Every structure is written in C-alpha cells, then in structure tokens.
Amino acid sequence: MTTTGHTPPTDRIDAAQAVLDRCAELDQYSASPHHLERVYLSPQHRQANGRVADWMRQAGLTTRTDAAGNLVGRREGPRHGLPALVLGSHLDTVPDAGSYDGMLGVVMAVAVADRLRSAELPFALEVYGFSDEEGARFGKALLGSQAASGQWDPDWWDLRDKDGTTLHAAFGDFGLDPRRVGEAVRRPEELVGYLEAHIEQGPELEAADRSLGVVSTIAGARRFRVSVLGEARHAGGTPYARRRDALVGASEAITLIERLARATGPQGVVATVGRIEVRPGAVNVIPGRADFSLDLRAATDAERDAMWERMYAEIERSCTARGLRLEAHEHHRAFAAPCAPWLQAAVAAGIVAADDSYPAGAEPIRLWSRAGHDAMAMAAVTEIGMLFLRCHDGISHHPAEDVRSIDVARGLDAFEQAVLEVARIVRERR
Ligand code: HGY
Ligand code: MN
Ligand code: MN
C-alpha cells in the first residue's frame, strides 16, 4: 500500500476510533438535548463549523467560511493557487439524525488531509464541510453545495423555515451578506475533482459482507405534492354511493405507488410517501381533500420519469372511478449525477489497496446511490467520485445509524489511496 507512512493495523483501528470519536463529539452541537438536529445557519451550524475548523487547522489546512456558510479548508500544492482536489461532505443533519450521515465524510476527509501532509501532490487539497445537504430547515436540499457550484437561485431567498424566518433573514442572522452569496462559487478551472466518502445508507454492502464500495451514479430525486380532491360530507348520513372520499382515494394511490415501484425490483425505482395531510380532518367528516408527498428515485432519470408518467396515469384512473380529482405539483427535481469513470477507478484502486474484506483480485462492488449527496451539486462544476462505507443494517436518518471501526479504518486507507491515485493520474496527464 503506497501510503506516505504505512499505518500499522493497531494504529489503523486507533485512527478509525479517532474519527468515530470526532463524529460523536459533533453530536453535542444539536438544537435538541434529546436528539441530534443541526440545521442550516443555526447556532449549532456555527458551533460545528468552529470545531471542525480546529481539526482542519490541526491537519495543516487554512480555513474559511464561504459566503454561503460552508466551511472550507485548503492546503496549497507545490505552487500557490493550483487547482484543488476537493474532499468533503456535509455537517447538517435531518431531525433525530444519526452521527455519521455527512459528518463521517467530513471528518474522514480531514484525517486523510492530515495523513497526506508530506505527500507531494500535484494539486492543492481542499476539504468542504457543506452547510445544508438535507434541506431540513428551508425545504430545499443542497443549498450549500449549490452555492459553491454556482446554482444558487434568488427565488430561494423567500423560502421560510417552520418559524417563518426567511432564508434571506437567516443569512443576516448568521453574519452572511445575501448580496455576496455569489462569492461562494467555484469555477471548473479551480478544481481537479471532488471525492466524497459517505455511509451507504442502504443494505447492499452489508449483504455482500464488504466494507467499502464504489458509487457509480447518484440518483436524482423528483419530489411532488400530490392532491386528491373529493367532497367533505357527513360521516353518518352520506351513503357510500354518494361519497367522494379523498382519503380513501389517496390510500388507493399510495398502495398503487408502492406496488408499481416494488415491481421494478431491487435495482429499480424507489418511491416514498413520507407525509399526508387530510382536510378538514374531523373524525365525523368524510375527507374532502388529501395532500401527500412523493419522493421518486431511480438509477437513471429516464427510468424515474417513465415511472412517474405511469404512476400519474394509473392514479388518475383510480381517482376518476371514485369521482375524485387529482393534482400534482413538483417542487424539487435533481438530475442523476454519474461518477466520472476515472474517479470511480481511483476509488476502486483505493479499495483494492485497503479493503481486505474483499478476496485478493476481487473487483470492488459498484452501486448506485439511492440517497442524494453534495456530490450531485458539485457535478455541475467538476467531476465527482464517491466511496461508500457499510453501515449497520443500512439504517440512516435515524439515531441507530452506526458504522464499524474496521470499515472506517479500511475507508480511511482507501480514501488516502484514492487521493494518491488521483495524483498519479493527474501527473500522467501532464
Ligand atoms: O434525501 C436524501 O437522499 C439525502 O439523504 N438528503
Ligand atoms: Mn441524509
Ligand atoms: Mn448525507
């Protein structure tokens, strides 16, 4: 293993434990004493940025907070101002989160930057702690990485959180100037590529009994608010023949959605209804309206979009048969982001060098990410690669989220090797 300084097995586990301890330390920066919750532009966001910046400086990186609240660490290459290979992930969480979704990738990136202090890399090295991958506060995901990749939309300034605070006001409260958000933008010529380490948030690596995998592509989600419109009436006096029950219609639609998605198989479409609201919501009134969320994903946008067309047509048929109307409003659409072959190869080389859960000569598993990641946004300005780590029972977005120290140990070595492989390829290209 051509690392800059081979880390013997015991140190390997110690290094992994140090990463896990840092992830645990970040749990204290939470909006709730009862569960982990850290959202964009919150006091907890600032605290986490501060602590990770300490670790970045200890790793020899200079640190700054960019114009969108992302934390950025940088170490120059052999000459000042060279394009950078960026490593990173996010520091924000969903409500009642686990300790590793996002944070593990940032802390591992800092640890790899530390390991490579004396490596002669042909580029600058940067680490991003992105500020808002989940979109938990303002309902729009990837705000930090979209700012960095030049995709900020001024319409977002009026987005409001659950307390009615606008994104514009929250910027000011955090000490950021909304007029300067464009200063966060990175240009393609400044970047060599982007690599992200992340827990798989699914069961494939665990089922294969492998520590690590290479991400082939990241699914792009389409999110809708689907409305079934009927007529509120008396729960007792209205015979079935005269009912237009919006909740029964929505229930039929939701089971249809699940049936159609499941039928596409384990590598097919995933569709989730995460929220439903029923009006008027009284126990003795037939629901006149039901609004539910739909999150739709697939390995390719074409598969996803074809499934949406089919779902909408079949739901509309079942609603019409019940005298109900159907409306759908799409409020989020991300495009699938393929990982660049050369960066997939670099990550695979890292796994081959570091992951002894694979038999000698075995090809690392390639899997598509059902979960979204900041890498999707960064794909707009540079080529991307992702390293997946096994996580316990595929659990994520839940406090039971967990990783094994041996997987983190292998992940650190693989991530370090991947960076060295990128360096080798960049030199070769010259
Ligand atoms: O929803 C997602 O896929 C990501 O975890 N935010
Ligand atoms: Mn997440
Ligand atoms: Mn994540």
* Span 64-86, pLDDT tens digits: 999 999 999 999 999 999 999 99
> What is the model's pLDDT at position 402?
98
> What is the model's pLDDT at position 430?
83
Q: Assess whether 307 and 196 both reside in one domain.
A: no
**142 CA from centroid of ligand 3 (Å):** 10
pTM over 0.85: yes
Confidence of residue 1 (pLDDT cuts 50, 70, 90): very low
Q: Assess whether 348 and 319 both reside in one domain.
A: no
Q: Assess whether 188 and 254 both reside in one domain.
A: no
Dihedral over alpha carbons 6, 11, 13, 18 (to 10 degrees): -110
Q: Which two tokens stand for residue 325?
A: 């109307």
In a domain, 423, yes or no: yes
What is the domain extent for residue 306?
220-334
In a domain, 2, yes or no: no
CATH number assigned to the domain comprising residue 235 = 3.30.70.360
In a domain, 88, yes or no: yes
Count CA atoms closer than 13 A to 289's CA, side-chain side: 8
CB 391 within 8 Å of CB 401: yes
> What is the model's pLDDT at position 3?
46
> What is the model's pLDDT at position 9?
53
How many degrees, rounded to 5, is the angle at CA 210 between CA 206 and CA 215?
90
| CA 64 and chain centroid, separation | 22
Q: What's the pLDDT tens digit per position in 373-396? A: 999 999 999 999 999 999 999 999
> What is the model's pLDDT at position 210?
97
- The span from the CA of 121 to the CA of 84, in Å, is 10
**49 CA from centroid of ligand 1 (Å):** 21
Selected residue with higher pLDDT from 210 and 8: 210
Instruction: Name the nearest CA neighbour of 303 among 254, 255, 272, 260.
Output: 260
Instruction: Name the nearest CA neighbour of 141 among 208, 223, 83.
Output: 223
Q: Assess whether 305 and 340 both reside in one domain.
A: no
Instruction: Name the nearest CA neighbour of 193 among 406, 409, 2, 382.
Output: 382
Beta-bridged to residue 290, according to DSSP, are 228, 278
Domain boundary among 298, 316, 334: 334
| CA 133 and chain centroid, separation | 6
Q: Assess whether 374 and 271 both reside in one domain.
A: no
Q: What is the mean pLDDT of residues 315-329?
A: 98
* Ligand whose nearest atom lies closest to the CA of 223: 1
Domain boundary among 312, 334, 356: 334
| CA 106 and chain centroid, separation | 12
In a domain, 4, yes or no: no
pLDDT reading at 331 higher than 90: no
**118 CA from centroid of ligand 1 (Å):** 35
Q: Assess whether 62 and 175 both reside in one domain.
A: yes
- The span from the CA of 208 to the CA of 226, in Å, is 37
Q: What's the pLDDT tens digit per position in 220-279? A: 999 999 999 999 999 999 999 999 999 999 999 999 999 999 999 999 999 999 999 999
Instruction: Dump the DSSP string for 330-399.
Output: EEEE---EEPPHHHHHHHHHHHHHH-TTSPTTPPPPEEEESS--HHHHHTTTS-EEEEEE--GGG--SST
- The span from the CA of 329 to the CA of 331, in Å, is 6
Q: Is 95 exposed, middle or buried (0-12, 13-18, 19+ CB in 10 A)?
A: middle
Confidence of residue 110 (pLDDT cuts 50, 70, 90): very high
**372 CA from centroid of ligand 1 (Å):** 4
List, in order, residues 6 or more apart from 324 with CB less than 8 Å away.
Answer: 228, 229, 230, 244, 246, 249
CATH number assigned to the domain comprising residue 201 = 3.40.630.10
DSSP tally for the chain: helices H, then strands E? 11, 16
In a domain, 124, yes or no: yes
> What is the model's pLDDT at position 91?
98
Q: Name the one residue in this structure whose structure tokens are 């939470």.
A: 30
Domain boundary among 282, 300, 334: 334
Selected residue with higher pLDDT from 169 and 2: 169
Q: Assess whether 297 and 229 both reside in one domain.
A: yes
pLDDT reading at 5 higher than 60: no
> What is the model's pLDDT at position 332?
87
Among 133, 200, 369, which is best to mutate for testing ligand 1, by the most ligand atoms less than 8 A from CB? 133
Q: Assess whether 74 and 196 both reside in one domain.
A: yes
In a domain, 157, yes or no: yes
List, in order, residues 6 or more apart from 3 with CB less than 8 Å away.
Answer: 115, 413, 416, 417, 420
Beta-bridged to residue 289, according to DSSP, are 229, 279
Among 93, 134, 391, which is best to mutate for testing ligand 1, by the most ligand atoms less than 8 A from CB? 134
In a domain, 3, yes or no: no
* Ligand whose nearest atom lies closest to the CA of 296: 1
Pocket lining for ligand 1, CB < 6 angstroms: 133-134, 141, 371-372
Beta-bridged to residue 291, according to DSSP, are 227, 277
Q: Whose CA is nearest to atom 6 of ligand 1?
A: 134
**86 CA from centroid of ligand 3 (Å):** 17
In a domain, 5, yes or no: no
- The span from the CA of 382 to the CA of 298, in Å, is 23
Helix axes 405-429, 341-354, angle to 10 degrees: 130
Q: What is the mean pLDDT of residues 23-47?
A: 98
Q: Assess whether 98 and 185 both reside in one domain.
A: yes
Instruction: Name the nearest CA neighbour of 298 among 309, 287, 286.
Output: 309
**377 CA from centroid of ligand 3 (Å):** 13
Q: How many domains does the chain have?
A: 2
CA dihedral (110, 116, 118, 120) positive or negative? negative
Q: Assess whether 115 and 172 both reside in one domain.
A: yes
Among 296, 332, 369, 397, which is best to mutate for testing ligand 1, by the most ligand atoms less than 8 A from CB? 397
| CA 123 and chain centroid, separation | 26
Q: Assess whether 226 and 167 both reside in one domain.
A: no
Q: Assess whether 123 and 50 both reside in one domain.
A: yes
Burial letters for 391-405: b for 16+ Cβ neighbours within 10 Å, e otherwise? bbebbbeeeebbbbb
